[in-house]
């Protein structure tokens, strides 16, 4: 399974590295204070921030995982894109961005401080900081192990080199550098993976040839012959499709709770819109990002589906590495496909695309971590602002730079821990993924119900998180071999697949958080005056949304275009 690269492939990679670091180098002279470094001076054009928005989300684990899921679940994986992202992105753009951006908050935790109180911010800031480091460590580990197994690169070397390059450009140019590079990385990911899509599709005889070759394989697994090339058709029952979830679970669990939790409250993503040059630009950022997002499935999921056909045809010579239990490691699908189809030259481009996806994800984590650390932890609890703006700006810039270095070093440490105690890291990541659903509930109630109080929000956030934990401790997915997957308290219920368990964990976290927040709001007194909530709550914010330009350049016009394309795609692949 070894893949040998030639000099041209390395040369392509080196040119890419030079450009990535060069962008950081050019931007370094603009980094005069914390505002420029951590918020990109709120000066980024909408299209740049929009592509960065989607590029941050297109990390290495996303690319590797979604291609693997394409193999495991077929076109059903597109639920993570069409129903599981687009509605939430439209909602974020039209209804939430005006309050996020208008509040002048520099981070999501800071919005919680402005809208609610210090303790709500503190809870969220600390959980978020830990989660970001974990996520970046885990993806760094996954990348280094992939490079070791397939390319034969030394594990330590790929870990440190890739981390140091990300550190280099984020340290030099801060958020601006992360965002600019994400745009470059977005194009390299698309162009690098493009030949793979065309060649693999051509190899199996196009879309209709793919359907034909899939039919016997899929039927052999006990599903209807076209299950892998349809999305909603077999979701009337959980057992009819490989996701193991019925339409309600997909619609409410994935399409509402999980996706709104992720897209509307995850600072890592939302930060790109915060950096936009105006409120109108900030509203357009998620919508501009949504356009490529809808088509990414064709780039990474479709090759994954083709991989099943190759895998089942011995004549193709396509293999996947096996894990200790003898099962194929689905996450390796993408790199094995690159090996299958790409000759030297474009192969280097494909590997560079994988490295770029890793870097865009990691830079996103690092630049969100240093902002939350500097503004929400350091500035609130360690050294408050002195009032001298210039001196403060310099001081927090230094702190932000240190946080960048510390964030990268902590991620490297997390990557080594993931290598030694992979199960513990998986477990921690599962736990921390539970903070998003309650957070969405609390932020949503805060924006649209002026009565919502700080005490209620804090308790709602905490109890949603704890109930999710409890649910995870009491249920298991079928076939789980370790307590990491759940059931570490008792086993009260067995889900057919892990996906179903995740969906329900999120649904419970969201429901509990909402009920507790609403209930306690009715029992507690609002500490904030209407004056303080101006610009943070819908009913207390004057509507001055006079957008300029032709209709298709306005947020609502763009949202309609995005919505229509998404519906058309869903119908085409129903």
Q: Which of residues 160-179 bind other proteins (CB under 8 A)?
A: 176
Q: Find the shortest distance in angstroms from Cβ 344 to other proteins.
A: 7
Q: Does 342 bind other proteins (CB under 8 A)?
A: yes
Residue 8 binds to other proteins (criterion: CB under 8 A): yes
Tell me the DSSP string of 109-122: HHHHHHHS-HHHHH
Distance CA 36, CA 318 (A): 49
State in angstroms the smallest separation of the CB of 297 from other proteins.
Answer: 21
Give the helix/strand (H/E) hosting 302: helix 279-311
Helices (H), ranges, 475-548: 498-523
CB nearer to other proteins: pick between 1 and 344: 344
CA 413 → CA 146, 418, 421, distances in Å? 18, 9, 12
Determine if 11 is a binding residue for other proteins (CB under 8 A).
yes
User: Does 92 help bind other proteins (rule: CB under 8 A)?
Assistant: no
Among 3, 42, 43, 494, binds other proteins (CB under 8 A): 43
The smaller minimum CB distance to other proteins, of residues 206 and 216, is found at: 206
Whichever of 187 and 551 has its CB closer to other proteins, that residue is 187
* Residue 12 touches other proteins, criterion: CB under 8 A: yes
Residue 273 vs residues 73, 175, 265, 562, 570: alpha-carbon distances, Å: 32, 12, 12, 17, 27
Closest CB 361 distance from other proteins, rounded Å: 19
The only residue of 344, 391, 490, 567 in contact with other proteins, by rule CB under 8 A: 344
Residue 274, both tokens: 């915060």
Pick the stretch among 89-97, 338-346, 424-432, 506-514 that binds other proteins (CB under 8 A): 338-346
Is residue 195 a contact residue for other proteins (CB under 8 A)? yes
Residues 196-215 that bind other proteins (CB under 8 A): 199, 202-203
Question: Considering the rule CB under 8 A, would residue 187 count as an interface residue with other proteins?
Answer: yes
Interface residue with other proteins among 1, 10, 19, 534 (CB under 8 A) is 19
Q: Which is nearer to other proteins, 187 or 421 (CB)?
A: 187
Helix axes 279-311, 155-203, angle to 10 degrees: 70
Q: Largest Cα–Cα distance in the chain?
A: 72
| Alpha-carbon gap, residue 264 to 259, rounded angstroms | 8
Query: How many chain residues touch other proteins (CB under 8 A)?
Result: 32
In the numeric block, which tokens belong to residue 323? 């894990």
Chosen residue from 34, 38, 48, 281 binding other proteins by CB under 8 A: 48
Q: Which residue stretch of 20-28, 108-116, 123-131, 439-447 sits at the interface with other proteins (rule: CB under 8 A)?
A: 20-28
Shortest Cβ distance from residue 382 to other proteins (Å)?
Answer: 31
User: How far is the first Cα of the chain from the last one, in angstroms, to the nearest whole number?
Assistant: 36
Contact call for residue 346 and other proteins (CB under 8 A): yes
Report how far residue 565's alpha carbon sits from residue 549's, in angstroms, rounded to the nearest whole number.
22
Alpha-carbon distances, residue 126 vs 107, 134, 270, 371, 464 (angstroms): 13, 13, 18, 12, 16
Q: Which residues, 6+ apart, have CB-to-CB distance to 457 below 8 Å?
A: 112, 115, 116, 117, 120, 442, 445, 446, 517
- The answer to whether residue 30 forms part of the interface with other proteins (CB under 8 A) is yes
Q: How far is CA 379 from CA 32, 129, 375, 382, 400, in A?
A: 18, 15, 5, 6, 11
Q: Which residue number, 22 or 152, has a Cβ lying nearer to other proteins?
A: 22
Copy the structure tokens of residue 229: 């090339």
Q: Which tokens in the block code for residue 536?
A: 């943070």
Among 345, 473, 557, 563, contact with other proteins (rule: CB under 8 A)? 345
Going by C-alpha positions, the residue among 306, 302, 337 that lies closest to residue 231 is 302
Instruction: Work out how close the CB of 149 gets to other proteins at its nearest, in angstroms, rounded to a whole number.
Output: 20
Asked if 349 interacts with other proteins (CB under 8 A), we say yes
Under the binding rule (CB under 8 A), the answer on residue 373 touching other proteins is no
- Supply the minimum distance, in Å, between the C-beta of residue 345 and other proteins: 4
Q: Which is nearer to other proteins, 35 or 514 (by Cβ)?
A: 35
Q: State yes or no: residue 511 binds other proteins (CB under 8 A).
A: no
Which residues of this chain interact with other proteins, rule CB under 8 A?
A: 8, 11-12, 15-16, 19, 22-23, 26-27, 30, 43, 48, 176, 180, 183-184, 187, 191, 194-195, 199, 202-203, 340-346, 349
């Amino acid at each position: 399974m070894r893949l040998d690269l030639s000099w041209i492939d390395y040369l392509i990679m080196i040119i890419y590295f030079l450009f990535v670091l060069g962008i950081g180098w050019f931007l370094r002279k603009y980094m005069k204070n914390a505002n420029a470094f951590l918020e990109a001076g709120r000066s980024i054009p909408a299209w740049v921030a929009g592509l960065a928005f989607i590029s941050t989300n297109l990390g290495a684990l996303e690319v590797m995982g979604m291609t693997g899921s394409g193999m495991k679940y077929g076109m059903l994986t597109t639920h993570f894109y069409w129903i599981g992202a687009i509605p939430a992105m439209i909602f974020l753009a039209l209804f939430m961005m005006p309050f996020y951006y208008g509040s002048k908050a520099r981070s999501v935790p800071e919005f919680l401080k402005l809208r609610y109180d210090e303790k709500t911010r503190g809870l969220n800031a600390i959980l978020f900081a830990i989660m970001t480091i974990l996520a970046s460590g885990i993806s760094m580990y996954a990348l280094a192990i992939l490079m070791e197994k397939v390319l034969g690169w030394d594990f330590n070397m790929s870990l440190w080199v890739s981390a140091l390059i990300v550190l280099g450009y984020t340290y030099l140019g801060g958020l601006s550098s992360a965002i600019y590079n994400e745009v470059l990385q977005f194009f390299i990911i698309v162009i690098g993976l493009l030949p793979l899509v065309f060649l693999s599709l051509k190899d199996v005889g196009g879309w209709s040839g793919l359907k034909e070759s899939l039919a016997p394989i899929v039927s052999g697994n006990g599903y209807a012959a076209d299950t892998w090339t349809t999305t909603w058709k077999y979701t009337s029952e959980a057992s009819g499709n490989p996701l193991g979830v019925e339409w309600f679970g997909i619609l409410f669990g994935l399409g509402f709770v999980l996706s709104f939790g992720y897209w509307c409250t995850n600072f890592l993503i939302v930060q790109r819109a915060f950096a936009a040059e105006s409120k109108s630009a900030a509203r357009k950022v998620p919508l501009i990002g949504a356009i490529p997002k809808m088509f990414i499935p064709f780039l990474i999921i479709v090759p994954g589906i083709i991989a099943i056909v190759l895998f089942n045809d011995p004549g193709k010579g396509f293999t996947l590495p096996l894990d200790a239990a003898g099962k194929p490691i689905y996450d390796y699908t993408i790199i094995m496909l690159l090996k299958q189809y790409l000759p030297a030259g474009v192969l280097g481009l494909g590997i560079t695309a994988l490295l770029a996806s890793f870097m865009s994800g990691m830079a996103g984590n690092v630049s969100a971590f240093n902002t939350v650390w500097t503004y929400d932890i350091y500035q609130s609890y360690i050294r408050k602002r002195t009032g001298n703006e210039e001196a403060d700006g310099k001081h927090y810039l230094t702190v932000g730079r240190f946080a960048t270095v510390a964030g990268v070093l902590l991620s490297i440490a997390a990557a080594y821990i993931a290598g030694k105690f992979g199960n513990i890291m998986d477990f921690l990541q599962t736990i921390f993924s539970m903070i998003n659903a309650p957070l969405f509930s609390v932020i949503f109630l805060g924006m649209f119900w002026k009565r919502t109080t700080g005490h209620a929000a804090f308790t709602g956030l905490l109890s949603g998180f704890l109930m999710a934990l409890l649910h995870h401790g009491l249920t298991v997915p079928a076939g789980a071999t370790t307590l990491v997957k759940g059931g570490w308290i008792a086993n009260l219920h067995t889900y057919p697949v892990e996906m179903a368990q995740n969906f329900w964990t999120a649904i419970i976290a969201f429901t509990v958080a909402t009920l507790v927040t609403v209930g306690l709001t009715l029992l507690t007194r609002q500490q904030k005056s209407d004056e303080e909530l101006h610009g943070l709550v819908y009913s207390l914010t004057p509507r001055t949304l006079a957008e300029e330009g032709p209709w298709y350049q306005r947020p609502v016009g763009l949202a309609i275009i995005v919505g229509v394309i998404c519906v058309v795609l869903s119908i085409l692949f129903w």
